[in-house]
């Protein structure tokens, strides 16, 4: 039986990392049990992926190179694995792939069906791919870990970025008072997305934010440490940057890694369709330019799809 090949952005050598990244041909993936194969229409990535151990080994610790990068996708189901239920061939879907398997910077990818959610025809693939990581990260930070409630005050760092901007929108819609932080250039954007207040961290004191119930941090370092002092008794700091080294006096500080979640993806898709949620996308490129987008230095971009 002849092997069907596809184009994919992959890296073969951990030592060379980004220098070893290339657009190459690899066998089209076959679906395992409870998998689907998705024809990828749009994909997203994080530039830190070559630093992740899961990029190089599977869950059993075995080498899995050449590794296809990217974990966010939107596309169409073209094949079902044995026992797969809940999705059908020809269905539009979007979601987050497993960290320890080949990713989405490819023409096709195999992914567990439970990691995907249906995507209505009213939502385009670029928008869907752009919301996956920021949307799930912000949702899980604010509601799963931060337990944010209407009437509470939340401090959202990184207002100018893809994750912080979604956090502002979700927190505002939930009825929270939103204080956003970022560079001066992000002030107008933060206000348009629903932030009630904005702190320019280059020229204003973080401590001027006052007491808050929840902090959502994407920066780490000194900002993370100082933010713990802003929490009201019983408050929660949630970060995706690094494990906290400073604990709040009377509260919680939590570090987490985002996980796939179909129910949350469905909530995000509804908001996209109704115009209640807008992801930030600054660059859309063909697959042929994915290596360049991944390796470019010195450019400040919010989200590349």
Banded pLDDT at 17 (limits 50, 70, 90): low
pTM score of the predicted model: 0.95
- pLDDT at site 61: 84
pLDDT, tens digit (0-9, with 9 covering 90-100), for 164-194: 999 999 999 999 999 999 999 999 999 999 9
Banded pLDDT at 63 (limits 50, 70, 90): confident
- pLDDT at site 282: 79
- pLDDT at site 2: 63
- pLDDT at site 9: 93
Q: Range with the lowest mean pLDDT among 16-30, 124-138, 289-303? A: 289-303
Given a cut of 80, is residue 297 above it in pLDDT?
no
User: DSSP labels for the chain?
Assistant: -PPPEEEEEEE--TTTGGGGEEEEEEEPP---TTEEEEEEEEEE--TTGGG-GGGTB-TTS-B-PSEEP--EEEEEEEEE-TT--S--TT-EEEEE--TTS--SSBSEEEEEGGGEEE--TTS-HHHHHHHHHHHHHHHIIIIIIS---TT-EEEES-TTSHHHHHHHHHHHHTT-EEEEEE-GGGHHHHHHHT-SEEEETTTS-GGGG--EEEEEESS-HHHHHHHGGGEEEEEEEEESSS--SS--TTEEEEE------HHHHHHHHHHHHTTS------B---GGGHHHHHH--S---S-B-
Looking at residues 214-238, what average pLDDT do you find?
96
Given a cut of 60, is residue 301 above it in pLDDT?
no
Banded pLDDT at 52 (limits 50, 70, 90): confident
Banded pLDDT at 64 (limits 50, 70, 90): confident
Highest-scoring range by mean pLDDT, 192-196, 278-282, 283-287: 192-196
pLDDT, tens digit (0-9, with 9 covering 90-100), for 197-221: 999 999 999 999 999 999 999 999 9
Work out the angle at residue 98's Cα, subtended by the Cα atoms of residues 160 and 122, and round it to the nearest 5 degrees. 60
- pLDDT at site 283: 87
């Amino acid at each position: 039986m002849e092997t069907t090949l596809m184009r994919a952005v992959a890296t073969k050598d951990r030592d060379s990392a980004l220098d070893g990244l290339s657009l190459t041909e690899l066998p089209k993936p076959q679906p395992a049990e409870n998998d689907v194969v998705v024809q990828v229409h749009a994909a997203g990535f994080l530039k830190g992926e070559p630093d992740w151990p899961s990029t190089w080994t599977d869950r059993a610790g075995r080498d899995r190179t050449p590794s296809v990068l990217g974990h966010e996708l939107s596309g169409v189901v073209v094949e079902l694995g044995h026992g797969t239920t809940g999705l059908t061939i020809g269905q539009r879907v979007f979601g987050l792939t497993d960290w320890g398997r080949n990713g989405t910077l490819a023409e096709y990818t195999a992914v567990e069906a439970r990691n995907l959610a249906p995507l209505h025809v009213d939502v385009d693939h670029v928008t869907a791919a752009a919301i996956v990581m920021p949307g799930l990260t912000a949702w899980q930070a604010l509601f799963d870990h931060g337990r944010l409630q209407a009437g509470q005050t939340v401090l959202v760092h990184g207002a100018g970025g893809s994750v912080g901007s979604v956090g502002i929108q979700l927190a505002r819609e939930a009825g929270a008072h939103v204080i956003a932080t970022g560079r001066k250039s992000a002030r107008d954007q933060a206000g348009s997305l629903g932030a009630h207040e904005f702190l320019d961290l280059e020229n204003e004191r973080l401590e001027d934010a006052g007491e808050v119930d929840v902090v959502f941090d994407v920066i780490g370092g000194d900002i993370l440490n100082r933010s713990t002092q802003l929490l009201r008794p019983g408050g929660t700091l949630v970060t995706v940057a690094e494990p906290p080294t400073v604990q709040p006096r009377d509260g919680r500080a939590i570090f987490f890694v985002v996980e796939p979640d179909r129910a949350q993806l469905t909530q995000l898709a509804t908001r996209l369709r109704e115009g209640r949620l807008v992801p930030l996308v600054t660059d859309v490129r063909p697959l042929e330019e994915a290596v360049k987008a991944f390796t470019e230095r010195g450019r400040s971009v919010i989200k590349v799809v």
